[in-house]
Each structure stands twice: as C-alpha cells, then as structure tokens.
Amino acid sequence: MRDFFKKLLAASEDRKISLNDRLSARMILVSVPAGFFGMIVCILAHTHIVAVAITAFLWISIPICYAILIFKGKLKTLEIIMLIALIILMPLLWLFGGGLYSGMSIWILYELVLFAVSLSGKLEVFANLCTIFTFIAAIMVERYTDFHFELATHHDVGVSVVGSVIVAGGIIVYMINYQKMLYRREFEMVENKNSELIVMADKAEKANRAQKLFLANMSHEVRSPMNVVLGFNHLISESSDINEIHDFAKNIESAGESLLIIVNDILDFSKIETGKLSIYPAAYNLDELVQMCCSSIELMCRQKGLEFTTGVDPTLPKALFGDKMRLRQCITNLLTNAYKYTDMGSVRLDFINGGLSADHKSVILKIAVKDTGRGISEAQRTEIFTRFQRLDENTNRAIEGTGLGLALTKSILEMMGGTIDYTSEEKRGSEFRIEIRQEIVSSGEAPAVAAPDAYSSHSDAASKLSGMCVLVVDDSSTNLVLMKHLLKQLNIKAVTATSGLETLERVKTDRFDMIFMDHMMPHMDGVETYRRMKTFEHLNKETPVIMLTANAMSGAEDEYKAEGFAGYLSKPVKLDDIRREMLKVMHKQGSHT
C-alpha cells in the first residue's frame, strides 16, 4: 500500500510531465485524504447517510481512477471524470451534508480551487461556471423544497464547520504552498541552466574564435612545408639521371598535389560553414578561364587514354566580370570527377551562350561537362550534392575522393548566384551543367590572354632570365635554400634575407633585378616591409617585387596587386611558375617603359 502511494506521489512529481499537469495530479491526489476526512466529518456531524456515502465514494474511487489513468498517461481523462463527478455529487453533498448551516461552503471553495489548479482554458471556465450554477441551484432547492437535510444540533453544525475548515482549508493551504515550492524549484533550475548556458556560450565563442584562427593559419601552415617537399622533390628529380628516381619523384609530386587539393577543399568547406568564404569578382578574359580549366585535365585524360575536347560558343562575349578563380574551381571539380569516373571514351567541356540580358550588360554563361563514364543511378540523385557523401562506396574505394567536391561546387555556385544540375545514365555517362550570370565588360577592362606558353618557352626564358640577380626574402631558411636552387636552374643568382629589417638594409646597398617577398614573417611581414620600402630612398625603387606566399586564398592575388606588388606566386611553387611569373612581370615592365 505504501509502495502504491509512493508511486502515486512519484507520478505527480514526474519531471517529464508539464508543471501544470504535475500540479493537477497532486491536487487530485490530495483529494483522496480530503474524501476520507470529509467522510469522518460527515459521520461526526451526524449528516445524512447520502453525504457519508458520497464522501466515501470519492475517497475510494479517486485513487482507483488515479492509479488506472495516470499510469497510462491519461491525466486529461482523469480530470474530466473528476469534473463530471464533482459537478453531479457536490450539489447532493451540499443538500445532504447540512447545506448553508454547515461547513459545506468551504467544500464549494475547495471545488473551485481544485478546478482552478487542475484545469485550464475553456474547460476551467466551464467547470467554475458549472460549480457556481449548481451551487446556486442547490441553495434554491434547499430554500424552496424539502429535498435537503439539516444538521440537528448546534454541536453538529460546529463539528461540520470546524472539521470542514480544517480539512478543506488545510488542503487549500497545502496546495498553495506546494505550488509555490514547485515554481521556486523550477525557477532555481532555470537559473542554474541559464548560468550553465552562459558558460557554454562563452566556451562556444572561444572555440569559434580558435577555429577562425586555425583556418587562417591552416593554409599557411600546410602550404609552407608542402612547398619544401615538392620543391626539393623537383630538385632531386632534376639532379638525377636515373629513371627510377624520376618515377618516384613523379609519384611524390602527384600525391602532394592531391593532398593540397584535399586541404583546400576542407578549408573552403570550413569557410562556408562559418560564413567566411568570400567571392572576389573582377574583370577576366573567358579564353583565359578556358585555358586554365583545360591545361592539366587535358594531359591527365591523354595519359588515361581518354579523348578530351572543348567547345566555346563563338557568340559568347570574351570580357566578363565574375570570380574567375572560384568558377575555375567549380569547373575543375566537375572535370576531375568526369576524369575519375570514366574508364573509357571521352570527356567534353563546353562553354555555351545561354542568352544576353535585354540591356546587353550581362550574359548567362552555361558550362557543360560531359563524360562517357559509369554514370549515376536515379536512386543516388538526392545524395549526390550531400557533403562527405560518396556514392557507391564499394566501387569508388579505389578512386581518390572526399565526397566534398560536388557539395562545395554547389555552395560556391549558389554564393555567386549560379546553379548546377546534371543528367546521367548508368554505364553510359553523365553531363553536369552550370548556369551562371556574368556581367559583360568592355574588352579593354579585361586582361588580355597570353598565348598558352608565351611565358614559359624554355629557350626564350633562358636567355631573358639568365644572369639576373634577385633578392629572396623568407624567414624560413629551408625555403631560401630551395629558392636558391630553383633559381640556379634558371641561371639566376639569388641573394637572401631572412627578415623585413634585413631587407630594408639590403635594398640600400645592393641593386636587384627582382625581389621575391614572403608574406608571413615575424616582427615585420612582407606587406609591411614593402610599404616601408616605398617610404625612403634606396637602390631598388624601380625593382619589381613579387609576392611569394603560402596564402593561396581566393582574392589574395588581387589584394597583393592592389598593394602594388608586381607579381604573385603561391607556395608550393614550381620552377615553371617562377619562370612564367618573372617573364610576365618583365613583359609588363617592358610595356610600361
């Protein structure tokens, strides 16, 4: 029995149910002793047997109903049964418990409190109106008919009033206190939770800041050692005549490049997550974009025995405005996928004119990448642009990939106002289509495209660059050794400086043909050093300065050029890149003078 009551009590304190329902459960529960003591008061005050029977019925039926319904979670049903029972029984109890000249009035108040605590909304209003209406009806019946019972003596009236006040009043006071205690406890809990939330928010803020810092450093930290690995790998390969060494070096190079692509994808992904990915639109030449997209994939396809073709709609305007580097990243992702997932046949890249705007100020650029590869099944359609989702994990295991490429491509395109879609047939191939609006600029605003290898013809370069003397600034001695060796291959003499201050001294005493400047250096970074170089007289006022940095973020090149740097090279840097950039800078210098 004790267990049973313990269970009942526990149910009324169950934190899984709402505060109101817990109050309601407790109110109905305390009605059990109310029924019992009410019955005792009836007996002691010598009321009619009907009043005793009613209180006895309430005393016994409430715990039974409670046990059945509350454990089934049907508190509402219990409330409605109580409502009906009390609305029917209380007027009878009034009439047979002594009426106006007894303690019955306080039981009516008890009923009103019970409804106020356990019910809410329209039901509560309805229950209270019913109570008042039946109460008035009972007084009328008592006054105008014989259908009631009056207590025989003053003593009985006294017992009834005092007993009722003690029982019903006691329970009302208990309920008020219980409610106060429940709200206080909840309030304390909310306060505790609030202070926990403040601590957690503080931690989250710190973690967020740490993540941002991590992102900013990541590109630099990974690219710098990769620059050394790939650079020395190149030197090892160049300095050896053994074919096997060349093969090993090629493998290191291709693995290093794959690693860089993955690192960049992860960086971009984190930047999108934190809303940090920026788009840098600028005027560009469409032909240059086409060249950039085709250059590496063409060779990769040829090596795999795939045919690679390109088509550019002649009606497309050549001078456009948009983020060329991000667009190239999207197209390269699609081309790499086409290459990866095609074993036989061909890969085709098309640039199509999707129509000029009415004012001829913009054009819809449609880009299609078509392959004759394995295709994508209809069932995988919804998953294809989901992050980290690689379809058909079993068959794809042998193919490198992170499952980030398409999701990134889609997010980047959406940020630029573009869309991506595809059609595919299993075992026949796929076609991915990008659609993006690009502003049209006058051809003078877009940079002219160089012929594919204008700056990298070896013999040309050899004669132009040979014998030059350059200053290389970098705080990492390994990077300096690497650059010295790479430049030696071009027959260029390299003088080195390991800090901004040393550079400022060097430029006063020696004259250089070109300066390669690292960005991230302790005490005085490359940009600051360059700014200071502009503030005083020295021997290198006219010397072009090339930014050679691990900062490969989109838009970085434009920022450095806006600062005044003549050229930009991102680490890991290759000999060909150095040669091409130096010739480009010289070409520009020549055309300016």
CB distance 9 to 30 below 8 Å: no
C-beta of 3: minimal distance to ligand ADP in Å? 59
- Identity of the residue, 178 or 308, whose beta carbon is nearer to ligand ADP in the bound complex: 308
Q: Which is nearer to ligand ADP, 78 or 338 (CB)?
A: 338
Answer for which of 401, 435, 575, 587 binds ligand ADP (CB under 6 A) is 401
Write phi, then psi, for 4 (nearest 5 degrees): -60, -45
CA distance 375 to 381: 11
* C-alpha pair distances (Å), 55 with each of 5, 104, 159: 20, 12, 16
> Per CB under 6 A, which region of 86-94, 292-300, 401-409, 535-543 contacts ligand ADP?
401-409
Among 29, 106, 293, 376, binds ligand ADP (CB under 6 A): 376
In sequence order, the 6+-apart residues with CB closer than 8 A to the CB of 486 are 231, 234, 235, 573, 575, 578
Q: Kindly state the smallest distance separating residue 343's Cβ from ligand ADP, in Å.
A: 11
Residue found under tokens 């209809």: 378
- Report which of 165, 172, 53, 71 is spatially closest to residue 115, judged by C-alpha positions: 172
Interacting span for ligand ADP (CB under 6 A) from 268-276, 390-398, 451-459, 460-468: 390-398
Out of 390, 464, 484, 531, the only residue in the binding site for ligand ADP (CB under 6 A) is 390
- Beta-bridge partners for 307: 346
Kindly state the tokens that stand for 474.
């970098």
Q: Which is nearer to ligand ADP, 246 or 390 (CB)?
A: 390
Q: Give whichever of 408 and 461 is closer to ligand ADP, judged by the CB atom.
A: 408
Decide: is 484 part of the binding site for ligand ADP (CB under 6 A): no
Q: Does 396 bind ligand ADP (CB under 6 A)?
A: yes
CA-wise closest residue to 426 among 392, 387, 385: 392
Residue 433 in contact with ligand ADP, rule: CB under 6 A: no
Cα–Cα distance, 201 to 193 (Å, whole number):
12
Q: Which of 296, 402, 456, 457 binds ligand ADP (CB under 6 A)?
A: 402
Using alpha carbons, select from 33, 10, 28, 113 the residue that is nearest to residue 79.
28
Stretch that binds ligand ADP, among 136-144, 301-309, 337-345, 563-571 (CB under 6 A): 337-345
The answer to whether residue 532 forms part of the interface with ligand ADP (CB under 6 A) is no
User: Rounded to 5 degrees, what are φ and ψ at 374?
Assistant: -75, -20
Tokens of 145: 């008919």
Q: CB of residue 408 vs ligand ADP: minimum separation in angstroms?
A: 7
Stretch that binds ligand ADP, among 27-35, 63-71, 115-123, 368-376 (CB under 6 A): 368-376
Binders of ligand ADP: how many residues, by CB under 6 A? 21
Least separation in angstroms between residue 347's CB and ligand ADP is: 9
> How big is the CA angle at 561 (ends 560 and 563), to the nearest 5 degrees?
65
Contact stretch for ligand ADP (CB under 6 A) within 43-51, 168-176, 400-408, 522-530 = 400-408
Where in 272-331 is the site for ligand ADP (CB under 6 A)? none
Among 164, 430, 529, 551, which residue sits at the site for ligand ADP (rule: CB under 6 A)? 430
**Segment near ligand ADP (CB under 6 A); pick from 65-73, 404-412, 507-515, 535-543:** 404-412
Residue 371 identity: D
Question: How many other CB atoms are there within 10 angstroms of residue 415's CB atom?
Answer: 14
Among 159, 330, 349, 406, binds ligand ADP (CB under 6 A): 406
Q: At what angle do helices 19-44 and 2-12 cross, to 10 degrees?
A: 140
Alpha carbon distance 25, 32 (integer Å): 12
Q: How many CB atoms lie within 10 A of CB 353?
A: 15
Helix (H, G, I), strand (E, B) or coil at 56: helix
Work out whether 337 is an interface residue with ligand ADP (CB under 6 A): yes
Q: Provide the minimum distance between the beta carbon of 404 and ligand ADP in the complex, in angstroms, as a whole number.
A: 6
Q: Which residues neighbour 442 within 8 Å (Cβ) at sequence distance 6 or greater?
A: 319
Please state, in angstroms and rounded to a whole number, the distance separating the CA atoms of residues 268 and 387: 12
Tokens of 21: 């329902």
- Nearest residue to 50 (alpha-carbon basis) of 116, 127, 140, 148: 148
User: If binding is defined by CB under 6 A, does position 403 make contact with ligand ADP?
Assistant: yes
Binding-site member from 338, 349, 490, 494 for ligand ADP (CB under 6 A): 338
Give residue for tokens 């790479």. 486
Nearer to ligand ADP among residue 285 and residue 430 (C-beta): 430
Among 37, 341, 351, 565, binds ligand ADP (CB under 6 A): 341
Q: For residues 211 and 389, which CB has a smaller minimum distance to ligand ADP in the complex?
A: 389
CB of 402 to ligand ADP, least distance (A): 5
CA dist., res. 550 & res. 224, Å (int): 6
Our CB check for ligand ADP shows the closer of 202 and 426 to be: 426
- Please, what is the minimum distance in Å from the beta carbon of residue 399 to ligand ADP? 7
Please, what is the minimum distance in Å from the beta carbon of residue 310 to ligand ADP?
A: 17
- 3 state DSSP class of 130: helix
Among 130, 391, 521, 548, binds ligand ADP (CB under 6 A): 391
* By CB under 6 A, residue 374 contacts ligand ADP: yes
CB 423 within 8 A of CB 297: no
Q: Compare residues 362 and 430 and give the one whose CB is closer to ligand ADP.
A: 430
Q: For residues 298 and 439, which CB has a smaller minimum distance to ligand ADP in the complex? A: 298
What is the phi/psi pair of residue 367, to 5°? -125, 125
Strand, helix or coil at 278? coil
State the SS3 of 298-350: HHHHHHHCCEEEEEECCCCCCEEEECHHHHHHHHHHHHHHHHHCCCCCEEEEE
For position 128 contacting ligand ADP by CB under 6 A, the verdict is no
Segment contacting ligand ADP (CB under 6 A): 70-78, 248-256, 367-375, 520-528? Answer: 367-375
- Min CB(582)–ligand ADP separation in Å: 35
Among 17-25, 301-309, 384-392, 551-559, which window interacts with ligand ADP (CB under 6 A)? Answer: 384-392
CB closer to ligand ADP out of 392 and 510: 392
Residues that bind ligand ADP (CB under 6 A): 337-338, 341, 371, 373-376, 384, 390-392, 396, 401-407, 430
